[in-house]
Amino acid sequence: MVVTHQPVMVDEVVRYLISNPEGTYVDGTAGTGGHSLRIAERLGPAGRLICLDIDRASLEIARNRLFRFAEKVTLVKESYGAIDTVLRELGVDRISGMLLDLGISSYQLESSGRGFSFRKDEPLDMRMDQQTGISAGELINRSSIERLEEILREYAQERWAKRIARAIAKERKNDPIRSSLKLARIVERAIPAKYQPRTIHPATKVFQAIRIAVNGELENLADFLNMAPSVLARDGRLVVISYHSLEDRLVKRAILQWQGKEIGPRKLPVIYRSVKPLMRAVSKKALKPSQAEIDRNPRSRSAVMRVAERV
């Protein structure tokens, strides 16, 4: 059974994103089409929606879900980081709004068979786009102990990064680590029992960090944020939902830079080029899901939504 993604904060997304129903919008992380469907439903006769995703399987599910809106929806297998190229090839100058729902979908976790989840025994792939890059298995089995530790410290803020990295290196000497369940067990054994989290699996942050590294997620986001103001029309809005503190920090700091505000000397997790102050924050504080939504969809609990508008 294919599990489709339950979109997070979908009512808030539609409310903040769509200012002109006849405009052109982009869902930069279309996935299986949850947000895209609700956006398409709100567009007028002249409205247009461009759906991007690098996961071919997810995009095909989205294509089927959006079939009745085929005349106004264009689906493209491409990263949101290449939005400028996509718009140029489609003959679009500026857009009225763009959505990014970062992170991983329910489909990828539960139905893709790529080892995103530690609850199943699947091959360690973790690539959003299986046609490019190295797999999680290659990263884990080939990286030095120092590189593994760096990934876990930087992307997971994992206290036990060194112990976990050493445990991985010791295990792979005897037999390569090829499955998600094997990796999860290694991580679980490496963390002292009394320090293991009570509310999440001990391997949760490790899997997240490896996925971020495999897909270059923070680098892709930083590159996109540098160009975002240039693709938005006046009053066009950018809506970003993030689930990781490093992602949200990048978005928050970009919005401050766009407004010409000082951001302080704290080092960013990836190289970030400053941009001209061309945007404003629509909401002073980040938006979060309601308790009712969290009860319906527990995966939404870590979601943080920020909205910026072109001025």
For residue 157, pLDDT beyond 80: yes
Q: What average pLDDT does this structure show over 138-154?
A: 97
Residue-wise pLDDT for 162-194, tens only, equals 999 999 999 999 899 999 999 999 999 999 999
Domains in the chain with CATH codes: 10-107+217-310 (3.40.50.150), 129-215 (1.10.150.170)
Confidence of residue 214 (pLDDT cuts 50, 70, 90): very high
Residue 204's pLDDT is 92
Does the pLDDT of residue 87 top 80, yes or no? yes
In this predicted structure, which of 4-8, 90-94, 133-137 has the lowest mean pLDDT?
Answer: 4-8
Band of residue 264 on the pLDDT scale cut at 50, 70, 90: low
Q: Which of 213, 200, 166, 205 is nearest to 186 (CA)?
A: 166
Cite the beta strand spans of the chain per DSSP E: 24-27, 48-53, 73-77, 95-101, 232-242, 279-281, 304-310
> Mean pLDDT throughout 29-34?
94
Number of C-beta neighbours around residue 36 at 10 A: 30
196 has a pLDDT exceeding 50: yes
Tens-digit pLDDT profile for residues 223-247:
999 999 999 999 999 999 999 999 9
Q: pLDDT averaged over the chain?
A: 91
> How confident is the model at residue 75, as a pLDDT?
98
Q: For the residues 181-210, what does the mean pLDDT come to?
A: 93
pLDDT, position 265:
53
Residue with tokens 């990048």: 250
Backbone phi, psi, residue 73, to 5°: -115, 130
pLDDT in tens, 268-303: 544 444 556 789 999 889 999 999 999 998 888 999
- For residues 85 and 110, the model is more confident at 85
